[in-house]
Amino acid sequence: MKAILLCAGYGTRLYPLTINTPKALLKVQGKTLLELLIDNIEEIKEIDEIVIVSNDRFYKNFCDFKPHISSSKKITILNDKTTSNENRLGAIGDIKFALNKIHYNGEIMVLAGDNWFDFTLKELYDFYVKNGKNDVVFGQNKTDLNVLRAGGVATLFDNGLVLHMEEKPQNPQGTFAVGPFYIYNKQTVAMLGQYLAEGGNPDAPGHFPAWLAERKPVFAYDIAPRHYIDIGTKEAYDNIENTIKNLNKSLER
């Protein structure tokens, strides 16, 4: 299995923090988000390569940082050659780009490089295996309508099978908010080209599993009561420290 880290965003909503620094290289308690993510991947022995997809603007940042990465996995950094939000490939476009560049068509774990979380990716992988290596998304139930409108939302059967999923719905049918980490099997990887050829949205990563759920089994792993934070704004970034402080306080009680 390969891990594909989507790090080609421009982080414009985080300015001035990300004018010269990609979001994945922002720090939380002394470590970059990228390092925290790779440390977590390290626990999955089945992953033998980590592929970091950058844009042209931040490609050198990642190359310069590579010597500081501690991992037993092969680390590959790719430049998708995009230079702005206007000509970006989008998350799905970057997955397809990465697969073509490394000449690979097997199982993949796709991870957004700008998230903080307190569960382990090994749990997600074990859930994938337990469910017959059918595709997996993750998330948790949310009541905030603004949160539900900002990402993927799924309705689930009791066993976690996705009945229906939408990306950024104005009127969500469910309350299960899907985060930007996915595991896709070999059959699904072969369907990426079909999805894009049919005019599938290449941008937000949740569009593809929503399309998949209409065609094949996709299971959802519920991380509750744990946390993940999508760092799209300065407020979200600041909230990470508050979340960690609150978690530490609850552990001390």
- 66-89 residues labelled b (16+ CB within 10 A) or e (exposed): eeebeeebeebbbbbebeeeeebb
Mean pLDDT score of the chain, rounded to an integer?
A: 93
Closest CA to 98 of 82, 77, 114: 77
Rounded to 5°, the CA angle 201-166-172 comes to 140
Closest CA to 151 of 77, 82, 225, 205: 205
Closest CA to 112 of 180, 12, 29: 180
- Amino acid sitting at position 205: P
Reported as a single tens digit per residue, the pLDDT across 58-101 is 999 999 999 999 999 999 999 999 999 899 999 999 999 999 99
Nearest-angstrom CA–CA distance, 252 and 248: 6
Nearest-angstrom CA–CA distance, 223 and 225: 6
Reported as a single tens digit per residue, the pLDDT across 147-193 is 899 889 999 999 999 999 999 999 999 999 999 999 999 999 999 99
User: What pLDDT shows up at residue 250?
Assistant: 53
Query: Which residues are CB-contacts of 192 (< 8 A; sequence separation ≥ 6)?
Result: 92, 95, 96, 99, 208
Q: pTM of the entire structure?
A: 0.93
Overall fold of domain 2-252: Spore Coat Polysaccharide Biosynthesis Protein SpsA; Chain A (3.90.550)
Contact between 43 and 51 (Cβ < 8 Å) = no
Closest CA to 247 of 229, 233, 232, 230: 229
Contact between 154 and 138 (Cβ < 8 Å) = no
Instruction: Tell me which long-range contacts 56-63 makes (C-beta under 8 A, separation of at least 24).
Output: 56/80, 56/81, 56/82, 56/83, 57/10, 57/83, 58/7, 58/8, 58/21, 58/22, 61/20, 61/21, 61/22, 61/25, 62/7, 62/22, 62/24, 62/25, 62/34
Nearest-angstrom CA–CA distance, 162 and 166: 11
Spacing of C-alpha 93 from chain mean position: 14
How many residues are listed for the chain in this entry? Answer: 253
Nearest-angstrom CA–CA distance, 193 and 200: 10
Closest CA to 65 of 11, 121, 113, 97: 113
Contact between 41 and 50 (Cβ < 8 Å) = yes
Reported as a single tens digit per residue, the pLDDT across 101-158 is 999 999 999 999 999 999 999 999 999 999 999 999 999 999 999 889 988 999 999 9
